[in-house]
Amino acid sequence: MPNAIFIDNARVQAFLRGPEIAMTTEGVIYFRNLKHAQRWTRHTQENASFELTAEGSGRDAFVTITKTRRLYEEQQTIVAKFKEEKEQLHTKRFKDPAGSRAAGKKRRREEDEDKDGDVTME
């Protein structure tokens, strides 16, 4: 998650941007008690997906941060929609209306033809 931003702590932000899957806040963030750690788990993020779980008791309370695939899966559904739209546009733009294999041949415009079938130049 290279665009993850975690303003409260630079080490947590580095973890979110790095390859590790899980980390704890032991030695990084100190909590007064488990309730304080549980309040800290309410952090949300737009450019990242992770779960925060408060554990421990008293001054030994800590939070486990685990990355999830939610953001990746959301991005993949968006990519799939764009690919589908691209294929539809490509098919719509480059389809062969006459069914012939003469792709790339120039055709006369209908408005350029006179009543007698002659082409007029303007």
Asked whether residue 47 carries a pLDDT value surpassing 70, the answer given is yes
Asked whether residue 2 carries a pLDDT value surpassing 60, the answer given is yes
Asked whether residue 106 carries a pLDDT value surpassing 60, the answer given is yes
Per residue in 3-24, pLDDT (tens digit) is 787 777 888 888 888 899 999 9
Per residue in 62-78, pLDDT (tens digit) is 999 999 888 888 888 99
Residue 33: C-alpha distances to residues 22, 23, 25, 29 (Å): 22, 19, 13, 12
Contact 5, 49 (CB under 8 A): no
Asked whether residue 119 carries a pLDDT value surpassing 70, the answer given is no
Domain limits, the chain = 1-93
Q: Where do runs of H (alpha helix) occur along the chain?
A: 10-17, 34-40, 70-94
Evaluated on CA atoms 31, 28, 63, 10, the torsion sign reads positive
